[in-house]
Chains A and B, each alone.
Chain A
Amino acid sequence: MKTIAENENWDLVIKGHGPLFDLKISEVWSYRDLLLMFVKRDFVSFYKQTVFGPLWFFIQPLFTTIIFTFVFGNLAGLSTDGLPQPLFYMAGITAWNYFADCITKTSTVFKDNSQIFGKVYFPRLILPLSIVTSNLVRFGVQMLLFIGMMAYYALAGGSFQITWAVSLFPFLVLLMAGLGLGLGLMITALTTKYRDLSFLVTFGVQLLMYMTTVIYPLSAAPERYKQLIQLNPMTGIIEAFRVAFLGQGYLSATSLGYSSAITLVILFAGILIFNKTERNFVDTV
């Protein structure tokens, strides 16, 4: 069929079943303006009619850090590898928040946008990508807060150091985005039929945080659980993040390689499942 279509120069052939491994990347690229437009929409509509505006981006990680420092640092007395407690927690929270936001926001993308999806066609992948991108803006703002805090502790004489691993930072962000996006895409594809999963996501992500080295360092984990915690691909990423900015943590080619491999597999599978669901989800959502 395809050869005939090519002979007759059709611009588009719509069929019931497309090729399985069509990631539609070129089509997404041609709609890049729309992606930016969605990012702008998310960003502008976030702080319209608020008093503090973009300041809200700071407030959430700041307060979480204070609470974590109080509960896990002071009351529970968990180890922070000798790092200043607020810095240790904020590093984990900033990185984790980005990943968690990517998952939770993309996991409802079909449900939230069924109105638009039901009326007009554009490559559906644009919306989850725009979510990941606009979260990146938020993450960037929170990184500024983190860097400000680092500057404060540097002046106050806190013991930490930035290492060469900082050069891995863009790669780490990419991994978090890919992992969050991939998982979110899988979940949203499944929630088009069974909404139950969307309830699972909210507290599932929260539970997963305790399985990741956000509030404790990997070095403080009991030996027999260490392997289990390292199975979580986010552990390698967050540990590498701490090594990069604070000089403490666990970073090896194996741990980061493992995280990258898992991320790639999940992202690829997520896009495939998403593209498969996207074709007909309007009928079931």
Chain B
Amino acid sequence: MSIAIRVEDLSKMYQLGQIGTGTISLDLERWFVTRVLRKPDPFLKLAEANHRAVKGDSNVVWSLKDVSFEIERGETVGIIGKNGAGKSTLLKLLSRVTSPTKGTIKQKGRVASLLEVGTGFHPELSGRENIYLNGSILGMRKKEIDRKLDEIIDFSGVERYIDTPVKRFSSGMYVRLAFAVAAHLESEILIVDEVLAVGDAEFQKKCLGKMEEIGKRDGRTILFVSHNMGAILELCKRGLLIETGQIVKDSDVATCVASFMERDKHRQPSERTDKNGLLDLGRISINNEDSYQIDNSSPFEVTVHVAANDIANATLFFIVENAFGQSVVHKRVSSAEIGHSVIDGDLTLQVKVPTLWISPGIYTMYFKAIAPAGSWSGRAFSERVSVEVSGQAEASGKAFMNPSVTWSMRSDEVKVPAKALVI
């Protein structure tokens, strides 16, 4: 295996304040905000976001700091991290849009970067003309485009409109055409930023499929940034986790994603529709710990803390959603069925799931409670926890969308045996 990209001590500094902001009006604005209004410096906030990277109080932010790694030819690498972690800066440096402050990048083979779909499209030009224009911008020679023109038009699926100015295209057709051009780049290294966020689900699937084909069949090197962990897991073999400008994890993609989830926790707080606080669903734990991983082949249990004040006839839900927010598992039980016709005090609600058998990926789990009109009428949601499901569902030949789960609820104060109910 030969090395396609070697990055050594790569750093990118962004200078804030007088030197970096440039125009006099911005400098004046900054002076006004800090001196006259005595508010915190708006530019310093950026520095705080990259807290580890602040160099004293000199208004210097390291968007990337001493990053080193090597990528072998044919590897598919997913780069993950929170907003502002430095992912896009890294891609910009790799694709030469801006140059590093320190360090070197060495590349072998032609690099094509796709930081945006449809860069340089001109609205007045026809689809065909834009294929040539966009292709040339991305680094294709005219002969190369001539050769692939039919293939590109075919992939885009907008053949009928190909001689119409693209300003008359629907936004979907526009994006399709743009991606079709990019998908036919013949480069040894392909750098893709979160460009799939646009476009409908069908288009996203098509793009992912094409990228998978490029990576697996043609053996090309792919660097892929996305916030869609499902796509990352599907497409990439290796993961790089970036946090405040540094690589904190460089491993196989599953470990990397899991590590990202651990760090980020991906917990969204609980909520309810009324303000009276008669029923609260709280913290979730999986297998009695802060775990965010579920294996498709093994059973697991999920518990949630419930706090209520004399709520009768509540209905409780356990919901698992996929990355698109669609319910994959949606189980329901009335509180009376599990021995609590009236919920009062602090309790723990538990759901035992034998096996899930769903496609590997990132899912969100939460509980919901609805109480009928009466003393309290409203909905309460527990916190939402993102979990990573691993293990091939296909291998088992099963796919349970409606697993038999076991519900139980016990009071946290009185130690009475919990009554279980299998639904």
- B-binding residues in A (CB < 8 A): 1, 5, 8-16, 18, 31, 33-34, 36-38, 40-41, 44-45, 48-49, 115-122, 192-195, 279-280, 282-284
Nearest to A113 among chain B residues (CB) is B120
Considering the chains assembled together, what is the distance between the CA atoms of A119 and B116 in angstroms?
A: 6
Stretch in B130-138, B151-159, B254-262, B386-394 with 4+ CB within 8 Å of A: B130-138
Considering the chains assembled together, what is the distance between the CA atoms of A15 and B20 in angstroms?
A: 21
Considering the chains assembled together, what is the distance between the CA atoms of A115 and B165 in angstroms?
A: 20
A195: B residues at CB distance < 8 A: 23
Assess A283 versus B98: contact at CB under 8 Å? Given A11-B110, A41-B125: yes
Looking at A16, A118, A193, A194, which has the most chain B CB atoms within 10 Å of its CB? A16
Other A-B contacts than A120-B97, A284-B22, 18 sampled, CB-CB below 8 A, are A5-B106, A11-B110, A14-B100, A15-B103, A15-B104, A16-B99, A16-B103, A31-B136, A33-B141, A37-B133, A41-B125, A41-B129, A120-B116, A193-B22, A194-B23, A279-B98, A280-B99, A282-B92
Assess A11 versus B107: contact at CB under 8 Å? Given A45-B122, A280-B99: yes
Considering the chains assembled together, what is the distance between the CA atoms of A164 and B138 in angstroms?
A: 46
Considering the chains assembled together, what is the distance between the CA atoms of A116 and B133 in angstroms?
A: 12
Q: B208 contacts the other chain (Cβ, under 8 Å)?
A: no
B138: A residues at CB distance < 8 A: 120
Nearest to A9 among chain B residues (CB) is B108
- With beta carbons under 8 angstroms apart, the residue of A14, A34, A192 that contacts B105 is A14
Can you list 29 residue pairs at the A/B interface with Cβ under 8 Å?
A: A1-B104, A5-B106, A10-B6, A10-B106, A13-B105, A14-B93, A14-B99, A14-B104, A14-B105, A16-B101, A16-B102, A31-B136, A33-B141, A34-B136, A37-B142, A40-B133, A41-B125, A41-B133, A44-B125, A45-B125, A48-B165, A116-B119, A121-B96, A122-B139, A279-B98, A280-B98, A280-B99, A282-B97, A282-B98
Q: B14 contacts the other chain (Cβ, under 8 Å)?
A: yes
Considering the chains assembled together, what is the distance between the CA atoms of A15 and B93 in angstroms?
A: 10
A34: B residues at CB distance < 8 A: 136-137
Nearest to A14 among chain B residues (CB) is B105
Distance of A282 from chain B, by nearest CB (Å): 5
Considering the chains assembled together, what is the distance between the CA atoms of A268 and B228 in angstroms?
A: 47
Considering the chains assembled together, what is the distance between the CA atoms of A228 and B390 in angstroms?
A: 80
A116, B137: Cβ atoms closer than 8 Å: yes
Q: B50 contacts the other chain (Cβ, under 8 Å)?
A: no
Nearest to A15 among chain B residues (CB) is B104
B141: A residues at CB distance < 8 A: 33
B116: A residues at CB distance < 8 A: 119-120
Distance of A44 from chain B, by nearest CB (Å): 6
Considering the chains assembled together, what is the distance between the CA atoms of A147 and B100 in angstroms?
A: 52
Q: B115 contacts the other chain (Cβ, under 8 Å)?
A: yes
A49: B residues at CB distance < 8 A: 124
Considering the chains assembled together, what is the distance between the CA atoms of A177 and B14 in angstroms?
A: 36
A45, B124: Cβ atoms closer than 8 Å: yes
Give the number of residues in B that approach A within 8 Å (Cβ atoms): 44
B107: A residues at CB distance < 8 A: 10-14
8 smallest beta-carbon distances between A and B, as pairs: A121-B96, A34-B136, A14-B105, A279-B99, A193-B22, A10-B106, A119-B116, A33-B142
Q: B351 contacts the other chain (Cβ, under 8 Å)?
A: no
Assess A13 versus B98: contact at CB under 8 Å? Given A34-B137, A119-B119: no
Distance of B140 from chain A, by nearest CB (Å): 8
B95, A41: Cβ atoms closer than 8 Å: no
B96: A residues at CB distance < 8 A: 14, 121
A118: B residues at CB distance < 8 A: 97, 115
Distance of B341 from chain A, by nearest CB (Å): 61
A279: B residues at CB distance < 8 A: 98-99
Q: B223 contacts the other chain (Cβ, under 8 Å)?
A: no
Q: B109 contacts the other chain (Cβ, under 8 Å)?
A: yes
A44, B132: Cβ atoms closer than 8 Å: no
Looking at A37, A193, A282, which has the most chain B CB atoms within 10 Å of its CB? A37
Distance of B18 from chain A, by nearest CB (Å): 12
B125, A121: Cβ atoms closer than 8 Å: no
Assess A12 versus B137: contact at CB under 8 Å? Given A48-B124, A49-B124, A120-B95: no
A283, B136: Cβ atoms closer than 8 Å: no
B97: A residues at CB distance < 8 A: 117-121, 282
Considering the chains assembled together, what is the distance between the CA atoms of A49 and B132 in angstroms?
A: 21
Looking at B98, B105, B115, which has the most chain A CB atoms within 10 Å of its CB? B98
- With beta carbons under 8 angstroms apart, the residue of A37, A41, A115, A283 that contacts B14 is A283
Q: B113 contacts the other chain (Cβ, under 8 Å)?
A: yes
Nearest to A4 among chain B residues (CB) is B106
Nearest to A42 among chain B residues (CB) is B122
A122, B125: Cβ atoms closer than 8 Å: no
Q: B79 contacts the other chain (Cβ, under 8 Å)?
A: no
B109: A residues at CB distance < 8 A: 11
Q: B286 contacts the other chain (Cβ, under 8 Å)?
A: no
Considering the chains assembled together, what is the distance between the CA atoms of A194 and B25 in angstroms?
A: 10
Distance of B343 from chain A, by nearest CB (Å): 55
- With beta carbons under 8 angstroms apart, the residue of B20, B106, B133, B165 that contacts A284 is B20
A41: B residues at CB distance < 8 A: 122, 125, 129, 133
B125, A13: Cβ atoms closer than 8 Å: no
Considering the chains assembled together, what is the distance between the CA atoms of A195 and B100 in angstroms?
A: 25
Distance of B339 from chain A, by nearest CB (Å): 60
Considering the chains assembled together, what is the distance between the CA atoms of A93 and B421 in angstroms?
A: 92
B115, A33: Cβ atoms closer than 8 Å: no
